[in-house]
Structure 1
Amino acid sequence: MDSLTEAVLAEAPAEELLRSPLPSAYTAAHLRAEDQRIFDGAGDRDVRRTLRVGPVPMPELAVDEVLVAVMASSINYNTVWSATFEPVSTFAFLERLGRQGGPAARHDLPWHVVGSDAAGVVVRVGAGVRRWQAGDHVVVSCVQVDDQEPATHADGMLGAEQRIWGFETNFGGLAHYAVVRASQLLPKPPHLTWEEAASTMLCAATSYRMLVSDRGARIKQGDIVLIWGATGGLGSYAVQLVRNGGGIAVGVVSSEEKAERLRAFGCDLVVNRAEIGLDRDISDDPKATVEAGKRLGRIIRGRFGEDPHVVFDYIGKATFGLSVFVVRRGGTVVTCGSSTGYQHRFDNRYLWMNLKRIVGSHAANLQEQAECNRLFRLGHLVPTLSAVHPLADVAEAARLVQTNRHQGKVGVLCLAPRPGLGVTDRALRDRIGEDRLNPLRGAPTAEPGGSPAAAEPAEAEPVH
């Protein structure tokens, strides 16, 4: 073990962290460019064939960057996409970024360190960094923006140079160390463990923008919100945000086991996909879509007497026609991804004649991320971590997400030697309550297999 890692694990003061030399290499989950054709002709693009864990060279910092010793990270569906090289190889993103020259050239490498969530300790800062210093405990936003681009100052997500770190950039969070821009950092909620904190920002902030932000659906008290994939990473935070805001959460899930978990989680109404005929793919059958929409509408109206105000959809092709059909007149469908396919088929008459809206949403800007992180610090949002794996087993963890055999978020310990570390405000943790902080912890994983039509991956960020 190198001296810097030893100092981090010993919770050494900032002075000792700065005295300890940077290692020349570090352990990371990464992909190899040489594997990009490995799945040619394969039916199952098993991520365990391409996700490697091993040493990679330590990069230099740019002036606006920070080196974080990563204590924990988590699996997002974009890591599955990276590891399957679908729908495009992320090495194409790295090559395009590298063509900018300067510090960006570092990203274009024959290996790609993946991962878009992290919680850890700052160990180095670039010459232009002002708000962070060695020893700070941080969580990392997945969004990198160009602060010299005008659109960024209206909304960071509108900038043409906005990228998802660890997916469209190199040096991601499934590693012992990660290179991030200073503008990606937020204070770690002090009552959360490393692995809990590392399971929050990408999914929770994405859900926050979709539902709460004035750039999303802008939910209000009493709104009925239909949430597809409600026990996934995005969906489990969406349920919390709806209930916190005085709304009514209607969750759709793919099994009775998930339904039981969601009821215990406080969802107001839980619908099994099989109840409405989604145990098979009906996305290319307009008549079946309308019939399934009518069944779903009857279930919701039978409970609340009204159709949903908002539909939260990241599933895509398998559900989007239903979403447009079932949302009420003047209602909103908000989407951030398409985990079952990008080509959506829906009957436009139900959209235009009933004055419905479709809102596209992607990740969250830094202000939205900060507002969401504040809710965790107040205990108003809690992590939805269900399982934790060591970095050495990251491929197995990603396979769980790829095959939809998980619930909530799947965490990965990086430098943290065991779960449960990193809490610096024990009193707040005790006030919130251990059980409330871990509502999905220990949720069983499903056996491999099942109907592809019923699959609803935990989160699906769109590909540019």
Structure 2
Amino acid sequence: MDEIINAVSRGDASSEDFGGLRLPDSYRGAVVRREDVAMFEGIASRDKDPRKSLQIQDVPVPLPGPGEALVAVMASSVNYNTVWSSIFEPLPTFGFLERYARLSPHAARHDQPYHVLGSDLAGVVLRTGPGVNRWRPGDRVVAHCLSVELESADGHDDTMLDPEQRIWGFETNFGGLAELALVKSNQLMPKPGHLSWEEAAAPGLVNSTAYRQLVSRNGAGMKQGDNVLIWGASGGLGSYATQLALAGGANPVCVVSSEQKAEICRAMGAEAVIDRDAEGYRFWKDEETQDPREWKRFGKRIRELTGGEDVDIVFEHPGRETFGASVYVTRKGGTVVTCASTSGFRHEYDNRYLWMSLKRIVGSHFANYREAWEANRLVVKGKIHPTLSRVYPLEETGQAAYDVHRNLHQGKVGVLCLAPEEGLGVTDHDLRARHIGAINRFREGQAPTP
């Protein structure tokens, strides 16, 4: 590993130099173990602790097969799927690995008693398998997390519809929260040169997800002038949705849970911000009963911020806690687009407000190849910025996941893998200087920068 780190640090190592590096027999990864899947039985979801289930373990190095690449991971980040994996909800991920293994002898490598997690990375290509032509050892890359086989015509127009679509590092093994990672080569994209390793590793999953959800024709098809309600607008997903809305000429209505998070949204350029805790919104009277009066109060507050207009689009991901309110406050003919259910998978809403007002509910999951590439292109050009708030070493991945699980963070939480310290990997210093305030906007201990 030291030879790999030295080659990356030199900055002038050739593709042949990287291709000639010796691969170790094993590498360290953040894993959950099959033997631990019952460890949280009888414990409420909120009280399950990723620090107890996520382990740093040496695992054998998988060699890239046809169409694959082995990447030296300099940095990664935590997404909510890492939290789900670490608390074994809604199901232990080993079932995903077992199903994938039945696809082919090649896929069988993924079925292990350990699962290396992580659906983001920034790093350097070390090896490529047969049939890989675009990428070479030494290329600096980030990876999106869409893994597909594309043997069925179902996925040829939209790769997310492939019957064998999976999320890398969640439904496959050898993910990015590790020193090395195995990916399909078509997951790779150019690393933004103006960002450090840990900054470049932050946007991938959430930025692509938000792009499909809001911008793509497969999602809400946002246009200039739209009012867009964004739940958790300073969080991992919401912080990118807010930026995409602003960059696309829409008007984000940002919902957050503290004044500090409200200030972050204002620093991004949002003018309409609702601190739901300060204003006391409680959409459920109890575990079984929602409160429509709170929906109405919420809708009235939105109209106060938009000049009397309802929202055209609701960017949904909390799920059970907010979904009834989301359907209610959407304008006639508007769209609720949902990509997750972090507060619960069983949604309830009053269907009268949907069918009689011709509203739509659109399901959105990650992004197809083109959408992921377009989302990364915006980062490369300095139009969308990372929302990294704090960074942990690989050894403390459990704490990083705990922060996300308990909503103790803003934006994204990063993890250093092979990078020995923060701030490394920048090659375009001029572009960085032009955007340094926005790049650092979410960093703890720094004042928000307009």
1:120 maps to 2:123:
yes
Kept in 1, the 8 Å contact 2:257–2:278? The answer is no
2:401 equivalent to 1:388? no
Aligned amino acid, residue 50 of structure 1 = S
**Counterparts of 2:445 and 2:377 in 1: how far apart (Å)?**
26
Aligned to 2:169: 166
Aligned residue for 2:8, secondary structure, equals helix
CA distance in 2, matches of 1:42, 1:300: 37
CA distance in 1, matches of 2:224, 2:445: 30
Of 328, 332, 335, which aligns to 1:329? 332
Residues 276 and 322 from structure 1, CA distance in 2 versus in 1: closer, same or farther, beyond 3 angstroms?
farther
Give the equivalent residue in structure 1 for 2:431: 428
Q: Which has the higher mean CA deviation after the structures are superposed, 255-264 or 273-282?
A: 273-282
**Whole-angstrom distance in 2 between the partners of 1:406 and 1:131:** 37
Q: Which residue number corresponds to residue 450 of structure 1?
A: none
* Match in the other structure for 1:344: 347
Q: How many residues align?
A: 442
Is the 1:208–1:238 Cα contact (8 Å) retained in structure 2? yes
Letter in 2 for 1:33: R
SS at match of 1:30: strand
Q: Does the Cα contact within 8 Å between 1:207 and 1:238 map onto a contact in 2? A: yes
Cα 1:146–1:426 shift into 2, 3 Å: same
State the Cα RMSD in Å. 1.5
Question: What is the SS of the residue equivalent to 1:340?
Answer: coil
Instruction: Indicate which of 231, 235, 249 corresponds to 1:232.
Output: 235
SS in structure 2 of the partner of residue 180 of structure 1: strand
1:437 aligned residue (435, 439, 450)? 439
**C-alpha separation between the residues in 2 aligned to 1:275 and 1:298?**
16
How far the C-alpha of 1:437 sits from its partner, in A, is 1.5
CA contact (8 A) 2:283 2:294 kept: no
Match of 1:454 in 2: none
TM-score normalized with structure 2 length: 0.95
User: What is the percent sequence identity of the aligned residues?
Assistant: 54
Residues 223 and 249, structure 2, Cα contact 8 Å, conserved in 1:
yes
Asked if 1 retains the 8 angstrom alpha-carbon contact of 2:282 and 2:294, the reply is: no
Q: Distance in 1 between matches of 2:354 and 2:285?
A: 19
Q: Measure how far apart 1:221 and its partner are.
A: 0.8
CA contact (8 A) 1:30 1:51 kept: yes
Tell me, yes or no, if structure 1 residue 254 matches structure 2 residue 257: yes
Question: Superposition pairs for residues 231-380 of structure 1, below 5 Å?
Answer: 231-274=234-277, 277-279=280-282, 281-282=284-285, 288=291, 290-304=292-306, 305-380=308-383
Instruction: Name the residue aligned to 1:22.
Output: 23
Q: CA deviation at 1:284?
A: 5.5
Q: Following TM superposition, by how much is the alpha carbon of 1:281 offset from its aligned partner in structure 2, in angstroms?
A: 4.0
With over 3 angstroms needed to count, the CA separation of the structure-2 counterparts of 1:40 and 1:287, relative to structure 1, is closer
Deviation string for 1:419-445 (max 9, x for gaps)?
A: 11111111111223x11222111169x
- Does residue 157 of structure 1 match 2:157? no
Amino acid across the alignment from 2:164: E
What whole-Å deviation, never above 9, does each CA across 1:337-361 have from its counterpart, x for those lacking one?
Answer: 1001111110000000000000100
Q: Is the 8 A contact 1:332 1:359 kept in 2?
A: yes
Secondary structure in structure 1 of the residue aligned to 2:69: strand
Q: State how far apart, in whole Å, the 2-side matches of 1:364 and 1:17 are.
A: 31
Q: Residue 192 of structure 2 is aligned with which of 189, 205, 208? A: 189
d(CA) in 1 for partners of 2:225 and 2:113?
51
1:262, distance to aligned residue in structure 2 (A): 1.8
How far does the alpha carbon of each residue in 1:285-309 deviate from its partner, in whole angstroms, 9 at most, with x for none? Answer: 6661x21121111112122210001
Partner of 1:462 in structure 2?
A: none
Query: Helix, strand or coil: the match of 2:311?
Result: coil
Show the counterpart of 1:33.
34
Shift of 1:148: 2.0
Deviations 1:22-52 (A, max 9, x none): 1100011111111111112334210001101
Out of 369-378 and 271-280, give the one that drifted further: 271-280
Following TM superposition, by how much is the alpha carbon of 1:389 offset from its aligned partner in structure 2, in angstroms? 0.8
Deviation, structure 1 residue 101: 2.6
User: Is there any run of 5+ residues in structure 1 with no aligned partner, and where?
Assistant: 445-464
Aligned residue type for 1:313: E
User: Equivalent residues in 2 for 1:39-50 (5 A)?
Assistant: 39-43=40-44, 44-50=47-53
Listed as ranges, the gaps of 5+ residues in structure 2 are none
2:417 to 414, 433, 436: 414
**Could you tell me how far 1:282 is from its partner in structure 2?**
4.4
Q: In structure 2, how many angstroms separate the alpha carbons of the residues matched to 1:330 and 1:283?
A: 30
Q: 1:347 to 1:279 in 2, by over 3 A?
A: closer
The letter of the residue matching 2:312 is H
Give the conservation status (yes or no) of the 8 Å contact 2:283–2:295: no
Question: Do the aligned partners of residues 274 and 328 (structure 1) sit closer, same or farther apart at CA in structure 2, a change above 3 Å counting?
Answer: same
1:403 equivalent in alignment to 2:371: no
Aligned mates of 1:436, 1:303 — CA distance in 2: 25
Cα separation, 2, equivalents of 1:183 and 1:152: 14
Rounded Cα–Cα distance in structure 2 between residues aligned with 1:133 and 1:152: 27
**Matched AA of 2:371:** E
1:325, 1:350 within 8 Å by CA — same for their partners in 2? yes
